[in-house]
Amino acid sequence: MQIRISHSDLDPYHEVQQYQATQTHLQGKYGATTVFVGTMRDLNQDDKVLHMQLEHYPGMTEQYLHSIAQQAIDKWGLFDVLIVHRVGEINPDDPIVVVAVWSAHRAAAYEANRFIMEELKSHAPFWKKETLANNQTRWVEKNTPGQ
């Protein structure tokens, strides 16, 4: 399992490929890999968003992400989990998060990946401050529901 907070640009597909290549315990074992990539939209609450500042609580955030990854491993019998989450200034179309899970079967991989993302979006200690087109700023009070 790898949990990492990145302060620089994120190339989600490179992250998954690089991580998988180093995990020899996966070779010949997994039948499914699911990858979720979250990117920044330029619209929130009907307002145009120019960019946002994404903050976290160091130590606490990683611990929480580790906890939800371990819950998914235990519940769905996953072989491995990768979570890389971006912080700092983020612009529309920038990748924010990549979650990858490796499992024997696709149903477990899909369900576990969705569980991790929903928990991350709902409860992980991240805070978003948006800069709107009118140059006003606001803190995002709640995330969009999983749909």
For 16, the 3-state DSSP assignment is helix
Structure tokens at 48: 């145009």
pLDDT band at 146 (very low <50, low <70, confident <90, very high): low
Domain segments of the chain as ranges: 2-21+29-139
Beta bridge partners of 43: 48
Q: Which amino acid is residue 107, in one-letter code? A: A
Give the mean pLDDT of the chain: 95
Determine contact, residues 129/138, Cβ cutoff 8 Å.
yes
pLDDT at 145: 61
Give the helix ranges, DSSP H, for 84-133: 106-123
Determine contact, residues 143/122, Cβ cutoff 8 Å.
yes
Say if residue 100's pLDDT is above 70: yes
How far apart CA 67 and CA 90 sit, in angstroms, is 25
Classify domain 2-21+29-139 by CATH architecture. Alpha-Beta Complex (3.90)
